[in-house]
Amino acid sequence: MKDKSSVFVIIPCYNESAVIRKTVASVSEKGYTVVVVDDCSKDNSKKELKGLPVFYLRHRVNMGQGAALQTGICFSFKKNAEYFVTFDADGQHEVNDIEGMMEEMSKENSDIVFGSRFLPGSKTNVPVSRSFVLNAARFVNYLVSGILLSDAYNGLRILNRKAAAVLKLTENKMAHATQIQMLVSKNKLSYTEFPNSIHYNEYTMGKGLKNRDGLKILFEIILHKIFR
């Protein structure tokens, strides 16, 4: 696409001073507009962004990744973004996958494109233990949303304005990924998946969905279904 500045890449950040500058620079160098939502980091994450072309937003209290994404989506919508990319701060995503996912969205006329580390053509060194948890999670998500993705908790997604307008996230923590699928189903949004690359190292393994988080997410989903 010609005007990449209309693509807003939303990067939730919580204590990512070790990697945030490299992650943001790799995205901004491609011409995308970057929105960093600092979820009340206690380290020098903000200082690491000095001199980079980025919108910086900060929560006064730590609220969770889902809340950070919603803050970024709302801000980007008001800035007239055409496309909204969710992108993890820890460096596990490959920025070049964004262009392929944009092409997929255009080709399939989709409202949302989910990244997948398990489709043919993807590249990942995901550990077996985490692969098992992610595979189990996709079936839990299917039970509550009716949508069976190949990768339930991939942080790389692209939304168009139609999707961004209706995906109002109220699940502040990791269960937001499940809620996204529920809202896609509820609002009858069109969706597709696209293979991408996920790079794990010692740092990224300390971030994201951990094995013990599965029960927490299940509990959050149950509460959502009962009280919402």
Domain spans in the chain, listed from the N-terminal domain onward: 4-227
Structure tokens at 51: 């001199």
Q: Give pLDDT tens digits for 183-223.
A: 999 999 999 999 999 988 777 666 655 555 555 555 555 55
Structure tokens at 188: 């009858």
Q: Give pLDDT tens digits for 71-116.
A: 999 999 999 999 999 999 999 999 999 999 999 999 999 999 999 9
Q: What's the pTM? A: 0.89
Superfamily per CATH, domain 4-227: Spore Coat Polysaccharide Biosynthesis Protein SpsA; Chain A (3.90.550.10)
Q: Residue 151, CB half-sphere, CA atoms under 13 Å: how many? A: 25
Contact 36, 63 (CB under 8 A): no
Contact 70, 61 (CB under 8 A): no
Q: Give pLDDT tens digits for 32-56.
A: 999 999 999 999 999 999 999 999 9
> Which phi-psi region, left, alpha or beta, contains residue 191 (left: φ > 0; alpha: ψ -120 to 50)?
beta
